[in-house]
Structure 1
């Protein structure tokens, strides 16, 4: 399996600002020395050694992940604004088919669907899976009339087929095993595990890990236990998570504690707070790595989910 991050922000798309670009340029100028400019090689070394928050960006599109199975089947996890970018920068699968899995239907996770170019291709078939019985109605509410969106839902969705999943039940979809579980979030949200051969990947956005009392422990175990890679909601700092109790999101330290409990090998911090810039997000990553090594004292690998990145599982 391989995943590609097309959108990693939470709540609302948050494109990089001119002021943030200027801050990156200023940081470069403050670091450079005459020796760094002496030759082509020295300039290349200087650029290569810049901190990640200066050299690149985590990205501003809202949630969308592309999962490609070992047999080449394509699964799409949520359809935030990142799916528009996917439609502009990828090709249609050979079998003209996508399987979509929605964690829930809050706007940041569905706002890109009407802008997904391949959905307008009459040869493309899209199967949509979720445990929500009214998934079709939730998506249709984005496109109820031409006064709100120029394409009507009934025209847009002609090649869509909807499937309702039962949490805790394992389904074989596109040749891999898929299981869902309900997690704590206003209006409910669902996490999914995808098992392809010996590898297990979990998509777990929009989850408040300190408020899981009403969740089915058996279902949680089935989805999360012994996962190789988990993309996990870590929207807040600890201070902000405590001040936003019941908002349905987590802090990085809660994510790591949960990963220890479930024997997870690799955690990708996800659903980044839209007000956090690249420098702050990279400081959160540093804090998370420190917390994992010295407080939890475990060998979990912790990374940031970064738009445009691939992860081989």
Structure 2
């Protein structure tokens, strides 16, 4: 590798996983509407990074949608620095009626000092109960929720604006009924432009972990193909898989989809810092 050209040629031949990391934070996705309304999907450890380095709304207004209350989806909330500011207004949406109680118990003595407990942030928070089958509208987006199979339940969210639809669907273990096209509630997924979907396991691991509430990448492809999804993003990665393993799953997925009817389906691995425009 004597010349710059030969070095660049060598580097370009290396697999993508060598160049950087997919990331290790637990779930938190930032979504913005055409009018720049901010939505945060779950409050995993990624929320702290957003709090420190993310582009904050000038209005101080945040919309948070919680899929469920398992620890990896809320553990960033006590470290969301903006929640301590009296200038912040934080609207929290979830189908779980006891959401406020859950978050209060999370940030309590003796786990947090008195000045970091729920009492210090509750004046900035408003809680809104969502119901499946009843859409709401915020900032020009039509938003719906959809219950999926997961221990204790988990809810997917659909966000639609100008005919484009983004679906966030984490912590899902697909059931045969989810593929039923005669079931009207399943139309929730049909023809979505982007589906961020639980694809935690390989098939052998999924077979060992029935009823754990997560999904294999291949069944995620089956599901996306069944509902004519345009772009599928593998999400909620298995913590024991390294970047090389996750990269190999994407390769395996692209090989697997060749045998599906929806060959126009695009597959991606969700990565920290990744941006999608619709």
TM-score, normalising length from structure 2? 0.94
> Are 1:169 and 2:134 an aligned pair?
yes
> Are 1:309 and 2:270 an aligned pair?
no
> Are 1:84 and 2:51 an aligned pair?
no
Deviation at 1:272, TM superposition (A): 0.1
> Are 1:71 and 2:35 an aligned pair?
yes
CA displacement 1:115-157 (0-9 Å, x = unmatched): 1122122211100001111111111121121x21121112122
**In structure 2, distance between residues paired with 1:277 and 1:212:** 32
Gaps of 5+ in 1: 1-36
Q: Is the 8 Å Cα contact of residues 144 and 159 (structure 2) preserved in structure 1?
A: yes
**In structure 2, distance between residues paired with 1:57 and 1:212:** 36
CA displacement 1:237-289 (0-9 Å, x = unmatched): 00111110000000011101111111110000000000000010011000111
Q: Is the 8 Å Cα contact of residues 168 and 180 (structure 1) preserved in structure 2?
A: yes
**In structure 2, distance between residues paired with 1:44 and 1:123:** 49
CA displacement 1:212-252 (0-9 Å, x = unmatched): 57x9943331x211100000000000011111000000001
Q: Is the 8 Å Cα contact of residues 293 and 299 (structure 1) preserved in structure 2?
A: no
Deviation at 1:304, TM superposition (A): 0.3
> Are 1:51 and 2:15 an aligned pair?
yes
Deviation at 1:211, TM superposition (A): 5.9
Question: Which of these residues, 202, 205, 223, is aligned with residue 258 of structure 1?
Answer: 223
Q: How many residues align?
A: 274
- Further displaced range: 85-94 or 40-49: 40-49
> Are 1:204 and 2:169 an aligned pair?
yes
The residue that corresponds to 1:144 in the other structure is 108
The residue that corresponds to 1:109 in the other structure is 73
SS at match of 1:42: helix
The residue that corresponds to 1:13 in the other structure is none
SS at match of 2:173: coil
The residue that corresponds to 1:220 in the other structure is 186
**In structure 1, distance between residues paired with 2:262 and 2:192:** 19
Q: Is the 8 Å Cα contact of residues 225 and 260 (structure 2) preserved in structure 1?
A: no
**In structure 1, distance between residues paired with 2:9 and 2:82:** 41
Deviation at 1:291, TM superposition (A): 0.7
**In structure 2, distance between residues paired with 1:276 and 1:51:** 16
The residue that corresponds to 1:93 in the other structure is 57
Question: Which of these residues, 113, 119, 122, is aligned with residue 157 of structure 1?
Answer: 122
SS at match of 2:145: strand
SS at match of 1:80: coil
TM-score, normalising length from structure 1? 0.84
SS at match of 2:276: strand
Q: Is the 8 Å Cα contact of residues 63 and 80 (structure 1) preserved in structure 2?
A: yes
**In structure 2, distance between residues paired with 1:212 and 1:306:** 30
The residue that corresponds to 1:61 in the other structure is 25
